[in-house]
Amino acid sequence: MDRLHVWWDLPGPASVIGKIVQSVENRERVLCLAAPDPRPSGLTGAIGRKLRGELSLECATLDVSREDQTQPIPHLLAGALGISAVEIGSVGEFASHPSLADQVLVVDGIGRDSLRRWGLFLRQLHLSRSEEIVVGPILIVLLPAGLTREETTVLRGSARSLTTQGAVGRYDAISYAAQIGTRPSADLASRVGHATTIEVAAWSREVLERMLAWEVSDQIDPLPLLERAAVASEVRFPCWENGLVDYWEDEPAAHAIGAIKYGMHEHLRRRMWSAQAGVLLPFAYRILRSLIGRHKEYLAKLVSPEKPWMKKYGSREVAVTDYRKLEFYDLQQLADGVMSPEERELRRVAQFMRNKVAHPDLLNPDQISKISDYYEAHRDLIEGDVPGWNWPRCGQTMILTVGPSGGGKSTWSSEQGVEIVSSDEIRREISADGETPGSQAGIFHRVRIASSKIMEDGRDVIVDAMHIEAEHRLRQISIAPADMGIKYVIIDRPLSEKLRDAGWRSGRGIIEKYHELFPDKVAAALNGDDRPGVDVLDLRTQGAVDPAAT
């Protein structure tokens, strides 16, 4: 694979070549092209390939800086193309010579002391525009660097002028990196490193190739290696004419090594910050959005139009009426008590990222790597916006038992021949006696993970837990897409039977507490929590099995 071919076939660079080809197709005898000097690598080769491929025209390149520019210019050009000077007596004969038909010549190196002579020649050639189907010769003149506007006008006259300025954009750089086989990994550190590489290298193919070969940590903080390269470099002060500045996202961006060599460190840091912000801010807010979603039923009780959350900014107060609009600090204040330790740590690192980037500041490679590692270790805590997007649709159903402690839910579940995820069993895995004081968020997170895996495999699952509170039911069913089957099974039995079989719950008041609560709580469950598609089966009216009899 020729990387220069890949580069000039990118949409941005190819658009410049396409305009040149279009001008030739329109029978423009003379075309002027402004490009940095040294000329961009592969420019003339790309022009030639395109002309041969699309218009079947031959294209040659002539550097006249090595020639005697005091001789008649038609003789100089014809001689370079193998035509004897005796056959060319005038500009008109040069323009109509049969051996030069379909010939394009890219001319570079015009001397400043020869501008007027070249200008007169180009004007005459431009005016001899062909009306025939067969065209040629055609001149593409690379404008010399260092000319005043007046001198440029003297040289090009009324000929069409194009420029390579601003040809390379962000998507060109990203596409080039992908085509030469350097796609980033999915982890956070790799994505930040890749984004920083694109932003710092900007329009420079050479810097892009160099940085893509670096370690991720060096990509995230490229300044030390760029400093080393700048010491060994002899680049001049950056400007567009010397190929060390060009547009990048509508803003002039200096070549990274040139910027370092001439003290433009803040210029590069701003580009590094832009790269980090583009990755880290969405990443941080994805964590925030997921944590809010995990506790939305709880937060909805605390933040609503009827019960706004008041935020103070100095002497000013702002009311938040939608829990989805909460920020990191709000979530910390409202929900830290119900979040698991892992959720709290995720909130903390995401808030740290957000605050760093928002001020604006840079995270160093070690900080990003640690955040990335923690996220990967706990990524099952992060839920996407589209639940079950990769699950098969084979009729699987999530069945939630709804009933008080001791009501017979586990017995009924065990008789259905369906896989069961039991909150009590998960508690017993953690504690031999089944007691897990404090927040139950971690328990029910494991319930959701386990039940998700079963449905992802295309099988039915029974989630064996009390599910007395509507927020607990809604949190559980939120893991399933709307086109999956959901069923509530209401189970209870007389208090005397529950007390008889209380087991480890005996004497703790647990049975009595939930027996009293259940009648008031069950109404919403019987109505499917106002969710369409939730089937409800009330076994209390159908004679649920007495666990004592089994």
Q: Scanning the structure block, which residue is given the tokens 């039923």?
A: 297
Q: Which stretches of the chain score pLDDT less than 70? A: 1, 129-135, 432-439, 504, 542-550
pLDDT for position 430: 77
d(CA 14, CA 7): 8
In angstroms, the CA 149 to CA 141 distance is: 16
Q: What is the mean pLDDT of the chain?
A: 92
Residue 308 placed within a domain: no
The reported pLDDT for the residue numbered 437 is 60
**Same structural domain, 44 and 116:** yes
Q: Is residue 520 part of a domain?
A: yes
What strands, in cross-sheet order, belong to the sheet with 138-142? 58-63, 103-108, 138-142, 30-34, 160-163
Is residue 150 one of the residues assigned to a domain? yes
> How far apart are the C-alpha atoms of 351 and 345, rounded to whole Å?
10
User: What's the rounded Cα separation, in Å, for the pair 262 and 6?
Assistant: 31
Please name the residues in contact with 218: beta carbons below 8 A apart, sequence gap of 6 or more: 211, 224, 225, 365
510 to each of 260, 407, 427, 471, 502, how far by Cα in Å?
Answer: 70, 12, 16, 20, 9
Q: CA 426 to CA 449: how far, in whole Å?
A: 12
Same structural domain, 231 and 117 = no
369 shares its domain with 418: no
pLDDT at position 133, please? 47
Domain boundary among 163, 181, 198: 163
**Same domain? 155 vs 63:** yes
In a domain, 321, yes or no: no
In a domain, residue 305? The reply is no
In a domain, 309, yes or no: no
Per residue, what are the HEC states of 348-396? HHHHHHHHHHHCCCCCCHHHHHHHHHHHHHCHHHCCCCCCCCCCCCCCC
Residues 120 and 189 in one domain: no
User: Which of 164, 153, 75 shows the shortest CA–CA distance to 116?
Assistant: 153
Alpha helical stretches, state H, 235-377: 256-261, 265-294, 296-302, 328-335, 341-358, 365-377
- Residue where a domain stops, chosen among 137, 163, 189: 163
The CATH code of the domain that includes 500 is 3.40.50.300
Q: Exposure of 532 by Cβ count < 10 A (0-12 exposed, 13-18 middle, 19+ buried)?
A: exposed
Question: What whole-number distance in Å separates Cα of residue 46 and Cα of residue 251?
Answer: 26
Same domain, 403 and 522: yes
Residue 149 shares a structural domain with residue 214: no
What's the CA gap between 249 and 435, in Å, rounded? 59
Other C-beta atoms closer than 10 Å to the C-beta of 461 total 22
Q: Choose among 352, 382, 168, 248: nearest CA to 259.
A: 248
Query: Domains in the chain: how many in total?
Result: 3
User: Measured in whole angstroms, how far is the alpha carbon of residue 286 from the centre of its chain?
Assistant: 13
How far apart are alpha carbons 192 and 216 in whole angstroms? 8
Report d(CA 214, CA 201) in Å as an integer. 13
C-alpha 414/C-alpha 356 separation (Å) is 52
Of 136, 163, 190, which residue sits at a domain end? 163
Task: Give tens-digit pLDDT for 39-61.
Answer: 999 999 999 999 999 999 989 99
Residues 251, 272: one domain?
yes
> Do both 372 and 480 map to the same domain?
no
Q: How far apart are CA 357 and CA 371, in angstroms?
A: 14
> Is 177 found in the same domain as 155?
no
Residue 332 lies in a domain: no
Whether residue 310 is contained in a domain is answered as no
If asked whether residues 24 and 69 sit together in one domain, one would say yes
Q: What is the CATH number for 93?
A: 3.40.50
Containing domain of residue 238, as a range?
A: 168-295+339-385
Q: Are 526 and 473 in contact (CB under 8 A)?
A: no
Amino acid present at 248: W
Residues 6+ apart with CB under 8 A from 298: 335, 338, 471
Looking at the structure, tell me whether residues 251 and 372 fall in a common domain: yes
